Chain A
Amino acid sequence: MREITSSMAGTVLNIMVEAGQEVTAGQEVLMLESMKMEIPVESEASGKVAEVKVNVGDFVNEGDILIVFE
């Protein structure tokens, strides 16, 4: 897995990881808000975060890249 993409359009509410951090499969990495619901985004696999592509408050569309792995 090279990146995590957004499964739906929404606003980035919270980012729980930063560049350089190791994450494990199933870990919550980001919180989106969509349709007045908080939607946790989990990492599908383990890896090291190279870059977080979004900021808190950003609006993302379905398929947008959120996090890139090394």
Chain B
Amino acid sequence: MERGSIVRKILIANRGEIALRIIKTCREMGIETVAVYSDADKDLPFAKEATFAFNIGEPPVNKSYLKTDTILEIAKREKVDGIHPGYGFLSENASFARAVKNAGITFIGPDPETIEMMGDKIVSRKTMMEAGVPVVPGSGEGTSTLEEACKLADLMGYPVMLKASGGGGGIGMVRCENEQALAKSFDSTKTRAKAYFGSDEVFVEKYIQNARHVEIQVFGDNHGNIVHLFERDCSIQRRHQKVVEESPSPFLSEQTKQKMYETALTAAAAVQYKNAGTIEFIVDEEENFYFLEMNTRLQVEHPVTEQITGLDLVKWQLLAASGEKLPLSQNDIKQQGHSIEFRLYAEDPKTFLPSPGKLSMFEWVASPGVRVDYGYVSGTTVSPFYDPMVAKCIIHGETRLEAIEKAVQFFDELNLEGIKTNAPLFKEILKDEDFRKGNYSTAFLTEKAFAVK
């Protein structure tokens, strides 16, 4: 089958909450699902809820979820029409997307060329600059020597961020206050980049003080239509990884938002974007915004957008992959109310160190406006092999204040035992005056006393 054929049976090359979330939409659409799981995940809901499920190996990711040949073999044997990569794992792996396509199966995502281009931070910066999209002042080229990095850092002024070109997910970046710090981190960042992303190319970028991290959800089809689905403010982070996301942003003016939507559409059009994608921007205190990167997949935090628009983004992905036009035009896409997502992690709420183990109890009170996308249920084990996310708790209210109050009640009533989680951190955040006023930047958790690092 070629790209654009109707999808009736798909393989989900992922695990946990996102695999389960995809299964739910497929079920509503009458699409059969094939789950693949590692030894560690055999008891998880996604492996049980899929129409078909196959064990693909041992727990470490390179022996299971990254085994492209095994996954493709199963896809062919089971005669699926499409493969949904979820997020992480193979979702932004251009050669996997290409192999799927070459096997005659629809890759539920953008074209392999787009993934390739946006996956390289240096190439994506250049592409965006050429399209007239503002980017963070930076080297624009990879730097191979410390001397070169120092020279560039001097030009843009400290502090700077030293980043791995092939990096992502908050790993492989270091903030450097001065030349000594840059010198100290240079070699280790290169080593880490090599070990983690297979390339030791790094670059320096201006560090923007008191920045906010705001992203725009975009969506494209095979007919050249591209729309945006508003913003998500993802500034509450620990170790450069998102913890809380919300929409609308409590900080941006209407005028800036409109400008960001337009810029995101320009950016997406510059790469003829198809399917779900996200343009991430850094916003400074004066509401100047700069392109950071484009994520060529469904985001972890996509439910925030679904709750304010009433749309099912996985359904849109499946329709777009089937060659259909986007269900709505820009003017028909409305936002309503306010939604906040909390990423419930198996980790120490103060040190943020992982806390895997058996989740002996996990129950919450269901009520209007409360959505929980979970990967684990009571009695299952959070293994140390994958990310620490137990569930995403998405709370919707008519106003931001209402969403906050509902969230307070949700975490008060949450019954979770067996492992440490960051639920106590959310209670602190929800009480915090600055958070309640919407007055926060990416430094929020570092500056607050209720978190250690």
Question: A10 to B171, Cβ gap below 8 A?
Answer: no
Are A34 and B354 CB-contacts (below 8 A) given A13-B192, A14-B195?
yes
In the assembled complex, A54 has its CB within 8 A of some CB on chain B: no
In the assembled complex, B401 has its CB within 8 A of some CB on chain A: no
In the assembled complex, A9 has its CB within 8 A of some CB on chain B: yes
Question: B353 to A37, Cβ gap below 8 A?
Answer: yes
Are A59 and B195 CB-contacts (below 8 A) given A8-B384, A36-B171, A37-B353?
no
Interface residues of A in 36-55 (CB under 8 A from B): 36-39
In the assembled complex, A25 has its CB within 8 A of some CB on chain B: no
Chain B contacts of A64 at CB under 8 A? none
Chain B contacts of A14 at CB under 8 A? 188, 191-192, 195
Chain B contacts of A39 at CB under 8 A? 353-354
Are A9 and B169 CB-contacts (below 8 A) given A33-B196, A56-B195?
no
Question: B192 to A9, Cβ gap below 8 A?
Answer: no
Identity of the chain B residue whose Cβ is nearest the Cβ of A39 in the assembled complex: B353
Question: B354 to A37, Cβ gap below 8 A?
Answer: yes
Chain A contacts of B387 at CB under 8 A? 35-36
In the assembled complex, B67 has its CB within 8 A of some CB on chain A: no
24 CB-based A-B contacts, threshold 8 Å: A10-B384, A11-B60, A13-B192, A13-B196, A14-B188, A31-B192, A33-B171, A34-B384, A35-B347, A35-B385, A35-B386, A36-B171, A36-B241, A37-B239, A37-B347, A37-B354, A37-B388, A38-B171, A38-B239, A39-B354, A56-B191, A56-B195, A57-B195, A59-B62
Extra pairs beyond A36-B388, A38-B171 (7, CB < 8 Å): A8-B354, A14-B188, A14-B195, A34-B354, A35-B387, A37-B347, A37-B388
Give residues in B with beta carbon < 8 Å to A: 60, 62, 169, 171, 188, 191-192, 195-196, 239, 241, 346-347, 352-354, 356, 384-388
Question: Which 3 pairs show the lowest CB-CB distances between chains A and B?
Answer: A9-B384, A35-B354, A35-B388
